[in-house]
Structure 1
Amino acid sequence: METSSDSEEQRNVTPTKKRKLHYEQKYSHLWEKDKNYSGAVLQPTVTSMLPESATKSFTDKIKSGEIKMACFLAEHNLPFSLADDLKDLIQSVAQDSKLASELTFGRTKAHAIVTNVTVDESTDRSSTKHLALIVRTAIEFDVEDSFLCLIPVVDGTAIALHNAFTKYFEENNIPYKENMVGFAADGTISMFGQHHSLSTLFAKDILNLFLIKCICHSFHLCASYACKKLPRGVEDFARDVYNYIQNSTKRIGDYKEFQCFVNVKPNKLLHLAQTRWLSLLQVVKRLLEQLPALRLYFQSAVLTDRLLAAQSILNKCLEPTAELYLEFLSFVLPYFNDLNKEMQSESPKLYLLYEKKNITYKTILECNLKPECLELTEQEKTSIDVHEKALETKILKIDFEKIENHLPLKDLYLGGKVAALIIMNKNTIHPDQIEQFRQKCLEFYIESLNQIKNRFPFEDEHRQRLKNFRFLKSDTLLDSNLKRSVPSIAHLGLMFPGLCPTNLTELDREWRTLRNTNLPFQEDRLIKANEFWRHISKIRKGDSSQMFPLLAQFAQNLLTLPHSSANVERLFSAINLMKTNIRNKLHSDTLTGLLFTKSGLKKNREPSQEHIKYFNKYMYKFNLSENDNKNE
């Protein structure tokens, strides 16, 4: 018998649903062998039904992406071992990207792309020496320096270097004897020795080859040898200060407190590097800026550290003439550094060398010679017709070592700040110290003049060759006075028979015609030489033929001549960034590929069709040894 409450409870109970059974479906490859289903194997895929161009385009996009990834590693000097991590990162960020999911980028592929797709003597961190070749070309007056190759060398002698050059040219079918018009390198004996060097061997191979030592190296050496005439304590002071403070984290922190106390900029002290062209001037300027803080810091360091090194540096800080020498260097070094920086340019600068060198030479002469030595006498003015030429000749032949030609020591010009300091400290600096300081500065001037004269000879033939390059300047044709000073360039053609057309008469006729041609940019005196001559080459006659074909071609040939090896030094700097302690055994082929990749990135960051073409199974090199492959 049921109660009313029991029946009510039964009516409120929800009936339980029956659970559905889950069947896991598995694919069986045995079905493919069944005759009833074998037709499915032959069924075309969706991608195969697309046009061939669409499939190819997607594949090229993958290749292009992987080339960009390899270029990223090369540009930022990252090891190829990061390739897998880079791919995984991109795929994790772009999980919904079909393109990202198809990337198969690893260390081996990255190495292959850089060495086989994108693609002066130096000692790197490994035991392999390399000879770096950079070529200068001019196409339609676009002068460009391009990395050519990196050749491993064992022997650094002139013959070995020459053999390495010629072997590379022959293996790559480069007719260097026909195409090579100039050669520039640093002034080492193996490169530019007078009797037996790489330059003399090239001169035997190629008639009328233009040879020049790196101008930047030469001016750096002029300043370096002149600085040796100053007391060594100046250079030692710069090194000792850096080594004492910058090699200790605690001392760096303590020094910052003194910088704040005397209210000088919290700049770091700079290291004096002999191998860096422009380092001395920057070090001197930084020492002058920090001198108040340095004096106070080392007074404290002597009391707390009680080290002889601190006492020695303090003595140099407090030396009465220390600031005078630093201020003198701050005044005189820019004469060399400014010219050095200009000649490091990748654009043609050889046509400016004669003028810039003469300006520097004459400016230094004016600092220490009597004014009458640099002027023509009344007799010289009347006996010589061309005033400017006579004055130039006199300046170049003046005996700057002769005591009678020198200004009195008290009248030497050593910079405005030096003169002010001498007056301000006349009661604290002994007159004998000031006189010795001035004598050392005079010796600096004399040595710098000697160095300039020896490294840039003033003999008539060499001087005339450099001087005649001035016809390439736009100013020469835009200034009526300069225009008249160059009536002919036929003699320059004789100096460069390999670069000049054989018809000198026609060449000179074109030049004299150009001197009397109205040019559209007469107000712009700052136009670059290559841009100026590009315009000249486009001037046409009435029949649409070139008006100045021989002259334009001659100018372009001269603009390809080298003036320095600064581009090679930049290449060595790039190699030093690549060859770190972690990546200290990069193979030469890998280095070459990295350098080519970096060079290509300057022009275009998008892979070309040529890159895509070389992106195939043949880009992998399996002939490298196992150790070489493990270096990356």
Structure 2
Amino acid sequence: MVGAHNSLWSRMKEIFPDCIVIKCICHSLDLVAKKACDKNVPRDLFELLRGIPAYFSHSGLRQSLYKDYWQIRNPGKSCDIKFPFKPLANTRWLSLGDVIRRILDHWDILLDWLKQQPGSFTDGNVGRLVRYLENPFFRGWTIFLCQHISDIEDVNKKFQQSSADIPGAIRSLVSFKEKLRLRLFVKNSVGTFTKRKEPSLGGDILQYIMNLSNSDAKAIEKFKNDLDGFLTTVWDELELRTDTNLEILMKIHMLSPKNIFADKVIMDEIPTALMSAYTKDRELQLQIQRQYETLKVDQTLFSETLDLEDEVKKCQPETFWSKLLDYELENQEEEYIELSKFALACLSLPLSSAFVERIFSQCAYIKDKYSNRMINSTLTAILYLKSNPDLKKPGCCKNLKVTSDMRARMNATMYEKPTQDDSEDTFFEICEILRTEPKSNGHD
């Protein structure tokens, strides 16, 4: 799709030389973890991670017996915990971390319970699972992966949110890369980074390695080298898959009011890398740059003029630029109109395809084999209700107040069969009324 040679991206680049590709960060982080695991983690460990959920998945009796055994080993504790029954999903981003945490939390009890099951001393499935759980290096790998996969998951979750905090998500990604750099490299006297002889693996895994005194010294050394290789692969993949995205996203981040109205504004921080993709008109580019340079004005005036609920510095970027553009259009002013359009175009760039993937999943749930004759206008209406956060607030459906405008629409013409486009327009008009209608304590 976005390869350098003979891909959709390379062919688009031939037609539009100034276009820019922004890869899905969630997918990129998932590939980072997957590549590091494929290259460094033993294959038998993944057989363990898949084998334990598979052993329980087809037998409710086994799950019930294990829960009873866990309750006996933990008297007085609540059973409201995550049991190791969740399978490893290949199509879900970073589902590996949750599976590892569940198995690691039950490691000792799970091993003792499996030893009591038929076939625990044979070469069958149960016997293999017992040998894997008895392997001290497999447990070390799960401790190590639990920590580092969780770090990647934390960053991924920030980008997956429906209303993601873009500046916060970018900061978390930058912070994660910097923390990983300090684990692998050390800064020398001339300001460059060199590879550490022994990377900082983390306190939990180092303490575990110190307790492996009965294991072979060569096996321990190989284990530490494999852990080092995992972190190195993560760093290399991050540099390969997120470096270009970060450069662009950091520039877009400077369009937030908090940065624009800071005490010191660096004029080069406007995302000029996107200028050529937005327009090739040199005069328009200079006009946007001039508007950006003159934008730093009295913040109080902006709050009053744009009718902002919060201070300008606390305002969300898309809210600020949308209100500024509306104000310019309503008052027929052109002081910041081109800059507002450019800023909104930059902010509309998708950080990830998580929202689109979520819509696809919702489509599959709504229009299933029992509702396969559902027309597109109905599907669009349901998706709009499910994906619009403003319409999920209290007072939308359950506590809906019938307004005078809604009653006026309920007349003889409402039974006329509209076209598909008309029905969609009417639906979105009603949704707009629901969002803008003032709240009332009673019926009109």
Common fold: TM-score over 0.5: yes
Match of 2:90 in 1: 274
SS of match in other structure, 1:260: helix
Per the TM alignment, residue 224 of structure 1 is displaced from its structure 2 partner at its CA by 0.7
Match of 1:288 in 2: 104
The answer as to whether partners of 1:346 and 1:567 remain within 8 angstroms in 2 is yes
Match of 1:548 in 2: 336
* 1:356-376: CA deviation from partner (whole Å, max 9, x where unpaired): 54333222121122x225xx6
Match of 2:254 among 459, 471, 484: 471
Per the TM alignment, residue 590 of structure 1 is displaced from its structure 2 partner at its CA by 2.9
Which structure 2 residues correspond to residues 38-49 of structure 1 after superposition, within 5 A?
Answer: none
Matched, 1:234 2:49: no
The answer as to whether partners of 1:465 and 1:495 remain within 8 angstroms in 2 is no
Per the TM alignment, residue 513 of structure 1 is displaced from its structure 2 partner at its CA by 2.2
Mapped partners of 2:327, 2:363: distance in 1: 44
Matched, 1:506 2:287: yes
Change (3 A) 1:318 1:566: same
Q: What is the one-letter code of the residue matched to 1:406?
A: K
Match of 1:407 in 2: 196
Mapped partners of 1:261, 1:501: distance in 2: 75
Mapped partners of 1:549, 1:464: distance in 2: 26
What's the C-alpha RMSD, in Å, of the aligned pairs?
A: 3.8
Matched, 1:596 2:380: yes
SS of match in other structure, 2:290: helix
Q: Which structure ranks higher in relative contact order (CA pairs < 8 Å, sequence separation ≥ 6)? A: 1
Match of 2:265 in 1: 484
The answer as to whether partners of 2:49 and 2:99 remain within 8 angstroms in 1 is yes
Matched, 1:561 2:352: no
Match of 1:571 in 2: 359
SS of match in other structure, 2:22: strand
Match of 2:154 in 1: 338
Per the TM alignment, residue 273 of structure 1 is displaced from its structure 2 partner at its CA by 0.6
Match of 2:231 in 1: 445
The answer as to whether partners of 1:538 and 1:546 remain within 8 angstroms in 2 is no
Mapped partners of 1:488, 1:457: distance in 2: 17
TM-score, normalised with respect to structure 2: 0.74
Match of 1:391 in 2: none
Per the TM alignment, residue 202 of structure 1 is displaced from its structure 2 partner at its CA by 5.2
Per the TM alignment, residue 485 of structure 1 is displaced from its structure 2 partner at its CA by 3.3
Match of 1:372 in 2: 187
Which structure 2 residues correspond to residues 583-622 of structure 1 after superposition, within 5 A?
Answer: 583=369, 587=372, 590=374, 592-593=376-377, 595-602=379-386, 603=388, 616=416
SS of match in other structure, 1:510: helix
Match of 2:28 in 1: 218
* 1:382-426: CA deviation from partner (whole Å, max 9, x where unpaired): xxxxxxxxxxxx5xxx6xxxxxx33233xx322332233334x24
Match of 1:65 in 2: none
- Larger CA deviation: 222-231 vs 594-603: 594-603
* 1:153-192: CA deviation from partner (whole Å, max 9, x where unpaired): xxxxxxxxxxxxxxxxxxxxxxxxxxxxxxxxxxxx4xx3
Mapped partners of 1:612, 1:553: distance in 2: 43
Per the TM alignment, residue 314 of structure 1 is displaced from its structure 2 partner at its CA by 0.8
Change (3 A) 1:354 1:476: same
Per the TM alignment, residue 619 of structure 1 is displaced from its structure 2 partner at its CA by 7.1
SS of match in other structure, 2:21: strand
SS of match in other structure, 2:88: coil
Going by fraction, where is strand more abundant, 1 or 2?
1
Per the TM alignment, residue 225 of structure 1 is displaced from its structure 2 partner at its CA by 0.6
Change (3 A) 1:429 1:414: same
Match of 1:86 in 2: none
Match of 2:58 among 215, 228, 247: 247
Change (3 A) 1:315 1:203: same
Which structure 2 residues correspond to residues 76-115 of structure 1 after superposition, within 5 A?
Answer: none
Per the TM alignment, residue 288 of structure 1 is displaced from its structure 2 partner at its CA by 1.6
The answer as to whether partners of 2:160 and 2:355 remain within 8 angstroms in 1 is yes
* 1:57-112: CA deviation from partner (whole Å, max 9, x where unpaired): xxxxxxxxxxxxxxxxxxxxxxxxxxxxxxxxxxxxxxxxxxxxxxxxxxxxxxxx
Per the TM alignment, residue 258 of structure 1 is displaced from its structure 2 partner at its CA by 1.9
Per the TM alignment, residue 452 of structure 1 is displaced from its structure 2 partner at its CA by 1.5
Change (3 A) 1:474 1:291: farther
Going by fraction, where is helix more abundant, 1 or 2?
2
Mapped partners of 2:44, 2:312: distance in 1: 48
The answer as to whether partners of 2:255 and 2:270 remain within 8 angstroms in 1 is no
The answer as to whether partners of 2:53 and 2:86 remain within 8 angstroms in 1 is yes
- Larger CA deviation: 201-210 vs 306-315: 201-210
SS of match in other structure, 2:117: helix
The answer as to whether partners of 2:367 and 2:379 remain within 8 angstroms in 1 is no
The answer as to whether partners of 1:473 and 1:529 remain within 8 angstroms in 2 is yes
Per the TM alignment, residue 616 of structure 1 is displaced from its structure 2 partner at its CA by 4.2
Per the TM alignment, residue 306 of structure 1 is displaced from its structure 2 partner at its CA by 5.8
Match of 1:515 in 2: 296
Mapped partners of 2:7, 2:378: distance in 1: 30
Change (3 A) 1:537 1:594: closer
The answer as to whether partners of 1:216 and 1:564 remain within 8 angstroms in 2 is yes
Which structure 2 residues correspond to residues 161-180 of structure 1 after superposition, within 5 A?
Answer: none
SS of match in other structure, 1:274: coil
Match of 1:328 in 2: 144
The answer as to whether partners of 2:325 and 2:340 remain within 8 angstroms in 1 is yes
Change (3 A) 1:440 1:486: farther
Change (3 A) 1:499 1:611: farther
Change (3 A) 1:595 1:340: farther
Change (3 A) 1:294 1:501: farther
Structure 1 unaligned blocks of 5 or more = 1-188, 381-393, 399-404, 621-632
SS of match in other structure, 2:294: helix
Change (3 A) 1:257 1:500: farther
Mapped partners of 1:500, 1:445: distance in 2: 45
The answer as to whether partners of 1:348 and 1:562 remain within 8 angstroms in 2 is no
Match of 2:72 in 1: 261
Structure 2 unaligned blocks of 5 or more = 392-396, 421-444
Per the TM alignment, residue 255 of structure 1 is displaced from its structure 2 partner at its CA by 0.8
Per the TM alignment, residue 443 of structure 1 is displaced from its structure 2 partner at its CA by 0.8
Per the TM alignment, residue 488 of structure 1 is displaced from its structure 2 partner at its CA by 6.1
Q: What is the one-letter code of the residue matched to 1:341?
A: K
Mapped partners of 2:227, 2:28: distance in 1: 21
Matched, 1:417 2:204: yes
